[in-house]
Chain A
Amino acid sequence: MRILYPFIAVLALVLIALVGANLPGGQALIGVVLPYVAFLIFLGGFVAKILGWAKSPVPFRIPTTCGQEKSLSWIPQNCIDNPSTRGGVVIRMILEIFLFRSLFRNTKTEIHDGPKLVYGSSKYLWLFGLLFHYCFLTIVIRHLRLFTTPVPFFVSVTEYLDGFFQVGLPVLYQTDIIFVLAITFLFLRRVIMPQVRYISLPADYFPLFLIMGIAITGILMRYFLRADIVSIKQLTMGLVTFSPSIKEGISSVFFIHLFLVCVLLAYFPFSKLMHLGGVFLSPTRNMTNNSRMVRHENPWNDPNIKPHSYAHYEDEFREFMVEAGLPVDKGLPPSADEDPAEK
């Protein structure tokens, strides 16, 4: 059910798009109205989510330290995994965001007779995760060709490098293959590994199927059905210049592709895909570990919370203290004040 429902949902989306593209006015709806709406939802939702997070303060300085702290001058600090300066944090974050450093630590634990626990290295998730994300990024950059004239240099370079081996006609992009492989791996991993399978929700399969749908329709268009690129670019340029127009004869696959992308955009801010934004704000990663060097302020620190006072303590135990030869502030009064008020 957790796998089937999201699969059916994506199939349904494909069908809707297919039918829609062939109804009168449907192409304008999917090709013009929907992209604007989806983009607005994406932008608005994204910003709202980030602002929502930012609105909550970070009351305590709670980095997860993964290396030696800064302490005595002769003990080498691990400036990246346990940063005490902004610069260290920036490097830590860059490594997290561009290289998935924490995921790189991943191990797989097995339990054998004995009992004996064995920790094996396990870098597949890291590898395929990284491939998946970089391919995604490359594909997004390549798509900028559709929204710009002239096409910026970095887009052309990306295209050139991606098709470096000059195989096939049209030139085969390596990212297309790797992307499909990587996402298939992520899917299979979810289905096959018992632990991951057990924790997976429909909301984990849905984006996978959706993205797979986008990739498949994209690949169909490029390599097999040969969509009319000129008309498509006219449409996309129209969108960015706010003078959209749709030519006749664009194939239905394109509308399915576009429809799924719009769904992804609109879905993004309300889903786990927001990890994109969250990773930047994660307090265990983006804070310096300098809480003993510099005082961190908590905006809602309550000044009324006070410890049980020494005076009360001495009042309760004064006799014992005097008898035991411990110093006291007040000394024993003739009639000891019997007030064991606690608080």
Chain B
Amino acid sequence: MADPKAAQLGVSVVKDPSLMTGAIPTKDWMDVPAIFKPGNYCYPAKAKMVEYHHFPNPREWTVESDDWKLDPNWKQIILEGMRERLMKFRSFKIFMDCCVRCGACADKCHFFLGTGDPKNMPVLRAELMRSIYRHDFTAAGKILGRLAGAREMDFGVLKEWFMYFYQCTECRRCSVFCPYGIDTAEITMMGRELLHLVSVNTNWILEPLANCNRTGNHLGLQPHTLKENTEYLLDDIESITGVRINPTFNRKGAEILFITPSADFFADPGIYTMMGYLLLFEHIGLDYTMSTYASEGGNFGLFTSNEMMKKINGKMYAEAKHLGVKWILGGECGHMWRVVHQYMDTMNGPADFLEEPISPITGTRFENAASTKMVHVSEFTADLIKNNKLKIDARRNDHRTVTFHDSCNPSRAMGMLEEPRYILKNVVNKFHEMPPNTIREQTFCCGSGTGLNTGEIMELRMRGGLPRANAVKHVKDKYGVNTLSCVCAIDRATLLALMDYWNPGVAVCGVSELVGNALVMDGEKERETGLRFEELAS
């Protein structure tokens, strides 16, 4: 561990007394206040962001202050909001009632493992909300009060909510182990919706959302910039492979609309994944277009409220209709696929103006996307490889010893486990899995999802990402793994920081980058470097 801060933190997580290291807190959790200090909270949303989204009570406020300048009626607003959501979501109601506090979920959360903070045990995170539910919505709580685990909503509780519903990445790992399937992510989502009702929100979520609404993507790339950035990538592709590619934007009548997170257009290492897509589509001669209007696959609305998620996501179908494509192909992104797979059709559908997706190259009918009409690029690529439609030279990835990080959402809210693995096994020669408790449905979050990948909480993120980093370290030491592949744009940003911190020397890449690097293109020149201009194995 080169980073002295990492070394220090590495000792702290093991030695500092915490519930994770066996020290039992002396105070009842209800008596431990949430104390904000620099580094343990995300910056609040700027007034103009709150205003932009028409959320109530736009104002400038500071988290550490004891005056959040709340609406005087805030308590009532929250309780009313809770009542409404109990009526709208059966999941919420059942999860409020059914927990037996068996503790099976306790040590499953990466934030608990990395911080040892009791309130990061999923069960306690949920109890922060449940205690209020009992107090205001159950007979026992009303009569017995604290004896029944009930407490009144007050400013202290609100602070706790803001702290701990923003130390949960809605990864659903806890839900895998709970005997009743209680999904703390659902409770966190409700908690965040309620916080937005009184405009206790973070800038790192609301600003990208505002960008996304106006420019079509979180980064705020305007149409011409998006096109320009793509041109740079095309230049690089040309100098690396000798092949000039000319993708189109906003082209009406294309067969397929391709949508990926905007980070793939702009940010290292997402851009290499983008180059991978472009090479792949060129290789098979796909009739596709990209959109500048629907230029974001990701959806920070998922981290805000179901209404916001719906509004942002509406662009995908709107653009598919506007361009008259047959179906939509989606890039590599975790939470985007949570939304596309579990919410999009319900919220924005029915997509009756599209056709059931059929691969124009292999003729495969994607029956699993018959209604939503959107296919994951890994599903699409795996089918191409299976049908021998790609010319692959896997030796070009021989400078990489690769492992695969299952992103939370594709694994626990979709179940796309084998497709990326099948692709990897075909495009790289050296592939090693991380330990079984840390992959597939038991995978660990990168520690920075759900809008937490902001700089001001870096230590927290490094703590939350520790279980993931630790599993990577295991295969790094054992097999010399030097590349962590994934199918998620947030991961590509956050794992980069995580690896630099805990496992320097491990690169992060999208699966499609490895595909692109291995593809033998028509008319290509001899490759001297990989897509990052990195040296190939000799």
Q: Which residues of A contact B (CB under 8 A)?
A: 5, 49, 52-62, 64-72, 74-76, 78, 81-82, 84, 96, 100, 102-103, 105-109, 111-117, 119, 125, 129, 193-204, 270-272, 274-275, 278-279, 281-285, 289-298, 300-302, 305-310, 313-314, 316-317, 320-321, 323-327, 342-343
Pick from A109, A129, A270: contact of B107, CB below 8 A. Answer: A109
Which residues in window 405-435 of B have CB below 8 A to A?
411-419, 422, 435
Could you tell me the distance between the alpha carbons of A75 and B345 in the complex, rounded to whole angstroms?
Answer: 24
Q: Assuming A293-B367, A293-B371, is B223 touching A320 (CB within 8 A)?
A: yes
In the bound complex, residues from chain A placing their C-beta under 8 Å from that of B347 are: 298, 301
Q: Assuming A64-B413, A75-B422, is B183 touching A324 (CB within 8 A)?
A: no
CB pair B342 A291 closer than 8 Å: yes
23 contacts between A and B (CB under 8 A): A56-B87, A56-B93, A58-B91, A64-B172, A69-B368, A72-B379, A105-B177, A107-B107, A109-B108, A114-B14, A114-B470, A195-B19, A198-B19, A202-B149, A275-B98, A275-B99, A284-B183, A298-B347, A309-B318, A321-B292, A326-B224, A326-B250, A327-B249
Pick from B341, B368, B383, B466: contact of A117, CB below 8 A. Answer: B466
Could you tell me the distance between the alpha carbons of A279 and B104 in the complex, rounded to whole angstroms?
Answer: 15
In the bound complex, residues from chain B placing their C-beta under 8 Å from that of A70 are: 368
Q: Which residue of chain B has the shortest Cβ distance to A299 in the bound complex?
A: B88
In the bound complex, residues from chain A placing their C-beta under 8 Å from that of B224 are: 317, 320-321, 323-324, 326
Question: 6 shortest A-B CB distances, which residue pairs?
Answer: A307-B314, A69-B415, A278-B98, A65-B415, A324-B224, A284-B181
Could you tell me the distance between the alpha carbons of A326 and B180 in the complex, rounded to whole angstroms?
Answer: 52
In the bound complex, residues from chain B placing their C-beta under 8 Å from that of A274 are: 97-98
Pick from A57, A270, A297, A343: contact of B90, CB below 8 A. Answer: A57
Q: Assuming A68-B417, A72-B379, A198-B118, is B91 touching A62 (CB within 8 A)?
A: yes
In the bound complex, residues from chain B placing their C-beta under 8 Å from that of A298 are: 346-347
In the bound complex, residues from chain A placing their C-beta under 8 Å from that of B56 are: none
Least CB distance from A90 to B in Å reads 15
Q: Assuming A71-B419, A291-B342, A326-B223, is B106 touching A5 (CB within 8 A)?
A: no
CB pair B139 A270 closer than 8 Å: yes
Pick from B25, B176, B322: contact of A102, CB below 8 A. Answer: B176
Could you tell me the distance between the alpha carbons of A212 and B374 in the complex, rounded to whole angstroms?
Answer: 55
Judged by a CB distance under 8 angstroms, whether B89 is at the interface is: yes
CB pair A65 B466 closer than 8 Å: no
Judged by a CB distance under 8 angstroms, whether B21 is at the interface is: yes
CB pair A67 B322 closer than 8 Å: no
Pick from B90, B438, B441: contact of A56, CB below 8 A. Answer: B90
Could you tell me the distance between the alpha carbons of A204 and B127 in the complex, rounded to whole angstroms?
Answer: 13
CB pair A103 B214 closer than 8 Å: no
In the bound complex, residues from chain B placing their C-beta under 8 Å from that of A203 are: 140, 147-149
Pick from B179, B227, B251, B346: contact of A297, CB below 8 A. Answer: B346
Q: Which of A81, A109, A291 has the most CB of B within 10 A?
A: A291
CB pair A60 B24 closer than 8 Å: no
CB pair B343 A60 closer than 8 Å: yes
CB pair A289 B415 closer than 8 Å: yes
The segment from B192-200, B259-267, B305-313, B513-521 found at the interface with A is B305-313
CB pair B100 A275 closer than 8 Å: yes
Which residues in window 207-233 of B have CB below 8 A to A?
213-216, 222-224, 227-228
Taking chain B's interface residues, is the majority helix, strand, or loop, or is none over half, making it mixed? helix
In the bound complex, residues from chain A placing their C-beta under 8 Å from that of B104 are: 102-103, 106, 125
CB pair A68 B415 closer than 8 Å: yes
Pick from B22, B292, B349, B422: contact of A295, CB below 8 A. Answer: B349
Interface readout for B2-13 with A: 1 if CB under 8 Å, 0 if not? Answer: 000000001101
Interface readout for B330-359 with A: 1 if CB under 8 Å, 0 if not? Answer: 000000000011110111011000000000
Could you tell me the distance between the alpha carbons of A198 and B19 in the complex, rounded to whole angstroms?
Answer: 9
Q: Which residue of chain A has the shortest Cβ distance to B317 in the bound complex?
A: A307
Judged by a CB distance under 8 angstroms, whether B319 is at the interface is: yes
Pick from B24, B94, B147, B214: contact of A342, CB below 8 A. Answer: B214
Q: Which of B103, B186, B215, B379 has the most CB of A within 10 A?
A: B103
Least CB distance from A47 to B in Å reads 15
Interface readout for B355-373 with A: 1 if CB under 8 Å, 0 if not? Answer: 0000000001011111110
Interface readout for B162-206 with A: 1 if CB under 8 Å, 0 if not? Answer: 000000000010011111111100100000000000000000000
CB pair B101 A200 closer than 8 Å: yes
Q: Which of B24, B313, B415 has the most CB of A within 10 A?
A: B415
Judged by a CB distance under 8 angstroms, whether B52 is at the interface is: yes
CB pair B379 A71 closer than 8 Å: yes
Pick from B24, B90, B172, B383: contact of A58, CB below 8 A. Answer: B90
Q: Assuming A70-B368, A71-B419, A109-B113, is B318 touching A284 (CB within 8 A)?
A: no
Could you tell me the distance between the alpha carbons of A49 and B224 in the complex, rounded to whole angstroms?
Answer: 57
Q: Assuming A321-B223, A323-B224, is B311 touching A307 (CB within 8 A)?
A: yes
CB pair B372 A308 closer than 8 Å: no
Q: Assuming A65-B414, A284-B175, A289-B415, is B367 touching A342 (CB within 8 A)?
A: no
CB pair B223 A197 closer than 8 Å: no
Least CB distance from A122 to B in Å reads 9
Q: Which residue of chain A has the shortest Cβ distance to B343 in the bound complex?
A: A60
Q: Which residue of chain B has the shortest Cβ distance to A289 in the bound complex?
A: B415
Could you tell me the distance between the alpha carbons of A123 and B516 in the complex, rounded to whole angstroms?
Answer: 44
Least CB distance from B138 to A in Å reads 7
Least CB distance from A280 to B in Å reads 10
Q: Which residue of chain A has the shortest Cβ distance to B6 in the bound complex?
A: A115
Known: A53-B97, A284-B183, A317-B222. 9 other contacts (CB 8 A): A66-B412, A68-B415, A102-B177, A194-B23, A198-B25, A279-B181, A295-B346, A305-B311, A307-B213
CB pair A279 B179 closer than 8 Å: yes
